[in-house]
Structure 1
Amino acid sequence: MATKPVTNFTFEEYLTYDDGTGFHYELVDGRLELINIPTIEHFLIAKFLEQLLDAEIKRLSLLELTFQQTGIRTGRNKSRLTDLCVVTQEQARDLLKASAVFETPPLLSIEVVSPDSIKRDYRHKRSEYAAVGVAEYWIVDPLELKITVLLLEEGFYEETVFTADQKIVSRTFPELAIAPHQIFAAGNL
C-alpha cells in the first residue's frame, strides 16, 4: 500500500491531489485520511438508495441530482466524502468541470455505516454536517439494522431512529414510502 505524505494540505491542494494509487481520502484539519474500500453490501445499499431517490426526483420533476462518492467541504481545511448526497442542479452546474466537492451544503447527505466508519459517521460527520448546514443527514447502519434521520433545527440535529418496517420520515422527500428492512434487503444478493 502506498504511504501518504506527512504534510499539511490546504483545501485547494486537496482538490487536485492524486497519489496515483486510486485510493480515496478525506481532508481532516489539513491531513489526508485514507477511506477504506466499502463492502459489496455497502455498495448495494448505496446503489439502491440512489436509484430510489433518482426515481422520486423524476416522479416529482425536481431540479435535483443524486451522487455517490462526492465531497462536502466541512471546514477551512476539511472535506468529507459522502456515500450519497442530493444537491440542486445549480450546485452541480457550479462544479461541472471541477472536483466534485461541494462547498455549499447538499439538501441531503447519506452515509452507510461500515465497521471502520462508525465513529466517523455517527460523531465527526454529524457535527461537521450540522456546522455547515446540511439540512438532512441519514445514517444507514446495516450493522445495527437501523436508520437514523437527522433534521437540522436551529443549528443542531433532531434525531429519529427507524427500524424494521417503520416508514422513514424525510423532510427532503416527504412522500417517500420506504422502510429500513427494504433498504437493508438491498444489501443481499
Structure 2
Amino acid sequence: MRRATEMTAVDERGMTKYFEGFEPPDGVKVELLRGVIVMMAAPDLVHNMIMEGLVDQLPRSRWARLQTQDVDIVGEASEPVPDLVVVARDDVPTSGPLPSPLITMVVEVVSKSSVHQDYVVKRSIYAAGRVPAYLVIDPVMAHSVLLTRPAGDGEDADYLSQEITKFGDSLPLEILGLEVDTSEFGTYAGVRPHRYP
C-alpha cells in the first residue's frame, strides 16, 4: 500500500511510514483511519451478497465498480479501503491509490464490528476528502443511508444531506442516474440494533 506525500505532513508520529510497509495476514482487511491502523476479518456471506446485488445494478459501461481499492484522502492521515468505490470509467487512473477527487461514490456495508467506523469515522474522512456521495448499507438496521453534500475540514468535516431508505424500498442514487432495488439485501441474524445514524 502506498501513500501520497501529502499524508506525511499530517502524520506526526510516523504511522504512515509504518503502514506503507505493513503486510497483513491473508483474509484480513487493513485500513489507516486518522493515524490508526484498523484490521478486520474478511466479510461474511450477507455482506458479500449485498455487494454482489449492488454491483450488478451499476452499469459497467459507465462506472468502474472497484472493490477493496485504497483511497488517497489528501491532507488526511488516512488510507481507507471502502467496500466499493464508484468512479466514472473515463476517470480511472492507471495505478496507485485512487485520489478522492476522482471518486463519485463510496460504499460501506456495515459489519457487526464496524458500526462506529462506518457511521462516524469514515463519514468524516470521506467528507474531508470531498467524496460527493457516501452510501452506508446497514444489514443490522435493514436500511441504507445516503450521505451527500460534503463540507468542512479534518475531523469537523461532515455531510450536510442524509437520506435513509429501508431495505425493500427503491434506493435513488441521483448522482449515478439510477435507482437500486434493495429487496434482496439481507440482514444479520441475532445482532443487537444500534442508534446510528
Partner of 1:84: 84
Q: Give 1:34 deviation, angstroms.
A: 1.1
Deviations 1:130-154 (A, max 9, x none): 1111111111001110011111255
Partner of 1:148: 145
Partner of 2:23: 19
SS of 1:172 mapped into structure 2 = helix
Deviations 1:102-155 (A, max 9, x none): 122410111100011000001111111111111111110011100111112555
8 A contact 2:70–2:80 mirrored in 1? yes
SS of 1:65 mapped into structure 2 = strand
8 A contact 2:33–2:121 mirrored in 1? no
8 A contact 1:91–1:104 mirrored in 2? no
8 A contact 2:30–2:38 mirrored in 1? yes
Whole-angstrom distance in 2 between the partners of 1:182 and 1:113: 16
SS of 2:92 mapped into structure 1 = helix
Whole-angstrom distance in 1 between the partners of 2:91 and 2:100: 8
Whole-angstrom distance in 2 between the partners of 1:171 and 1:21: 38
Provide the TM-score with structure 2 as the length reference: 0.74
Q: Which deviates the most, 152-161 or 126-135?
A: 152-161
SS of 1:79 mapped into structure 2 = coil
Percentage of identical aligned residues = 21
Q: Which deviates the most, 134-143 or 22-31?
A: 22-31
Alignment of 1:100-115 (within 5 A): 101-105=97-101, 106-115=103-112
CA gap 1:122/1:48 in 2 versus in 1, 3 angstroms: same
8 A contact 2:76–2:125 mirrored in 1? no
SS of 1:69 mapped into structure 2 = coil
Q: Give 1:175 deviation, angstroms.
A: 2.8
CA gap 1:94/1:167 in 2 versus in 1, 3 angstroms: same
SS of 1:43 mapped into structure 2 = helix
Whole-angstrom distance in 2 between the partners of 1:128 and 1:28: 8
How large is the RMSD of aligned CA atoms in angstroms? 2.6
Whole-angstrom distance in 1 between the partners of 2:82 and 2:180: 23
Runs of 5+ unmatched residues, structure 1 = 1-6
Q: Which of residues 160, 163, 181 in structure 2 aligns to 1:160?
A: 163
SS of 1:26 mapped into structure 2 = strand
